[in-house]
Structure 1
């Protein structure tokens, strides 16, 4: 079976978007990092540093101690959020990466756009669909490029899965199954005082924080957008009062293809995406977490082939793409309009969970 699809997997980790020579880059894109939480410290800043196309030069956060620590460790300029919004050191960066709680994305993206800086904003775009629309509009009105941090889209494993689907190796796609779960409080040492559990800051928990991964990755792999969604949410523990602890949802794509997804902030660790076609199944397991190697398997006619490939640093790939597209003056694929489709889907899932009825997804409207 390997010979049947080997041509599509040659040079598995190739960057099929790369047109510039990374060794020739002398002036990488200078990035201001907004948010100095664990993800920015442990993953984003190392990813920026590893990429030949980017370098971190500024950091800000509401936590002054975190800013001071990152500034010393990374030899970057630390500023307060007020100083950042006022553009006090705007000459020191070309682009802004926003990695703060969902409901604070808009204020920082709006400030970056007013300064004329390109933006990479974490997903989901904001805590509500309305605020997400305003965020996208702020960049459009200022004429600055906006990319959204869908790191799965630049991961070679996901790109090769899409290649195989496009080549027809799986035949006609019949359905998608995805799962993503974690014991969130356990991984945070039982700390329930954090923003994902505050609906005003997060907009939701399991579906917003985890559900966006299978939603967007399924869209990217299939090359289609869902037309209708339905969902159920539930919370059993006091720490999750006001937000969804568990969520299950269905995305209805064109041609009768459904994606059935389960996400949880309080279940055994899982990270899986499976696309089933008439000719084969394509499986990513593990799939979604940046801190674990991705697994890639093709199953056809009772035979399973697990592919052995060099793993990449997901966040390095994301920032390499971000910096490369800016230096090459090329547009981003996961832009603001693309991300609004996810926000409409999430909004629809929560509406469906409240009403018990499916929700049709139309074009965005303010």
Structure 2
């Protein structure tokens, strides 16, 4: 089974080689991630192309217009419908609580949407966001880039085919020192209203969603604890540990906004395990280990840049009128799970979904 599943770890299982259409994308919100990761990924892609950027910062607009050769708008111009003939879809990368109005604007212009995760700062607002796209008849993709990583997709195939037997448990961590480097406490990730949550919402969603994707399952209950010993994290969780119950198996996940950087995920089954190091960093070389009774497979440097894959997957789906997965419903499952984790941490009780 190793050979058949992992023979071509970088294979695009969604691509139609006969399609050469390019989908033009407007990027709404030009923070560091959008500027340094997302826009370059679109530019390197086969089906996606950045053509418009939207920012409230005039200097950013001028710099990005020059660097990427795009039209630059402020938020008022975007809402008013300026340059709608220059883009086919919208990538929303603003702080969580601002996703809803920017997605509503895109939907009102009849544009398809790829929205960063988590979908919003609260479940209610996320539901309204999904409804806005449904009502307008536009596609909505939740930007779970790990689901488009070819290596992760091969692991999902392997697990689905019974490669590790029945899934028993998942263990995952994402530690991101949010105050590292030049970053200070004056940032939206530490603003409870804008972010909705701290490490749980920003990085805890990665091991949760990726484990769900690999196992093809949804949570049924959550138990969680949070800690914020540093006063800088007064409004959000600095550390979180959350146990997630599924139908027949459990997940134990952690996320932190301080500490040595780490990203890892492991699925243990009745007959084997899969483990991924460097699991969630953009463009990282995944270190994958697959163990079964018949042997062990180690993969390093396999796959592709999953951010390029993410935007090309979305653009290809738009261009070919194909379905999008992960969609808004997938994003809502995680929103409800994250909210339940917050409720559990506050109450000290297990919360059913």
* Structure-1-length-normalised TM-score: 0.94
- Aligned partner of residue 168 in structure 1, secondary structure: coil
Q: Any gaps of 5 or more consecutive residues in structure 1? A: 362-366
Choose which of 282, 287, 301 in structure 1 pairs with 2:279: 287
Q: Distance in 2 between matches of 1:158 and 1:352?
A: 30
- Between the aligned partners of 2:9 and 2:350, the Cα distance in structure 1 is 39
CA distance in 2, matches of 1:311, 1:97: 24
Q: Match of 2:107, SS?
A: helix
C-alpha deviations, 1:213-270, integer Å up to 9, x for none?
Answer: 1111111111010011111111011111111000000110102x00000110111111
1:292 Cα deviation after fit: 2.4
Tell me the CA shift for residue 50 of structure 1.
1.2
Contact kept, 8 Å, 1:32 with 1:56, in 2: the verdict is yes
Alignment of 1:140-179 (within 5 A): 140-179=134-173
Q: Contact 1:270–1:286 (CA<8 Å) still a contact in 2?
A: yes
Q: Which runs of 5+ in 2 are unaligned?
A: none
Q: Give how far 1:148 is off.
A: 0.9
Q: What residue in structure 2 maps to residue 318 of structure 1?
A: 310
Q: 1:346 aligns with which of 332, 338, 341?
A: 338
1:98 matched to 2:92 = yes
Report deviation, 1:299. Answer: 2.4
- Give the Cα separation in 2 of the matches to 1:310 and 1:272: 16
Q: Tell me if 1:127 matches 2:121.
A: yes
In structure 1, C-alpha distance between the alignment counterparts of 2:279 and 2:180, rounded to whole Å: 21
Could you tell me which of 66, 71, 75 is aligned with 2:69?
Answer: 75
TM-aligned CA deviation for residue 184 of structure 1: 1.4
Answer whether contact 1:47 1:315 (CA < 8 A) is retained.
yes
> Shift in Å at residue 301 of structure 1?
4.9
Structure 1 residue aligned with 2:131: 137
Matched, 1:19 2:16: yes
Partner residue in 2 for 1:268: 260
Partner Cα separation in structure 2 for residue 59 and residue 126 of structure 1 = 21
Instruction: Kindly indicate whether the alpha-carbon contact (under 8 Å) linking 2:286 and 2:300 is maintained by their aligned counterparts in 1.
Output: no
2:285–2:302 contact (8 Å) kept in structure 1: no
Matched, 1:232 2:225: yes
How much is the aligned-residue C-alpha RMSD, in angstroms?
Answer: 1.3
Deviation at 1:271, TM superposition (A): 0.6
1:39 maps to what in 2?
Answer: 33
> In structure 1, what is the equivalent of residue 6 of structure 2?
9
Q: Report if the CA contact (8 A) 2:175-2:260 is conserved.
A: yes
Task: Give the TM-score taking structure 2 as reference length.
Answer: 0.97
Equivalent pairs counted in the alignment come to 353
Q: Secondary structure at the match of 2:171?
A: strand
- Partner Cα separation in structure 2 for residue 274 and residue 343 of structure 1: 22
Secondary structure, aligned partner of 2:321: coil
Pick from 204, 223, 245 the counterpart of residue 252 of structure 1: 245
Q: Quote how far apart the aligned CAs of 1:39 are.
A: 0.8
SS in 2 for 1:56: strand
Equivalent-residue separation in structure 2 for 1:166 and 1:303 (angstroms): 18
